[in-house]
A = this chain, B = another copy of it.
Amino acid sequence: MNSYEALIEKVRKFNTDRDWDQFHSLSNLAKSVSIEAGELLECFQWDDEHFDKQAVSEEMADVFTYLIDMADKMNVDLIEITDKKMDKNIEKYPVDKARGKNTKYNKL
C-alpha cells in the first residue's frame, strides 16, 4: 500500500470511527469542499505575496480530505479521473493556441 492509498484508508477510518458517514452525503461533501476552499482563499484575502505556509498547507489538506472522501463514496479513483480530465484539458488548450495566454478555451 503506497502513501496515497494509506491516506484514503485513514480518511475512511476517521469517519467510520466517529460514525460520520451518515452526514457525508455527496452534496454535503461538495459544500465542504467549497467551505474549505474559502478558508484557503482567506490566507490570500488582502495580500497575494505574504502568507502563512503552515495555514495554507492545512487548508489545502482540508480541501483534499473532502475530495478523497467524496471520491471514495462515489467509487471513483481520484487520480484516474484527474488523469482523464487532464487529457481533455490537453485537447481543449492546444499548445500552439494557448501558449502564454490566460484566455478561457472557448475564447481561444
Contacts and interface: CB of A to CB of B under 8 A. Distances in A.
Contact of A85 (B26, B27, B61, B95): B61
Majority SS at the chain A contact face: helix
Interface in A24-39: 25-28, 30-35, 37-39
Interface residues of A, number: 72
A79 B36 CA distance: 17
A99 B19 contact: yes
Contacts of A60: 67, 70-71, 76, 78, 81-82
B17 A95 contact: yes
A33 to B, nearest CB: 5
Interface string A20-57: 10110111101111110111111111111101010011
A90 B14 contact: yes
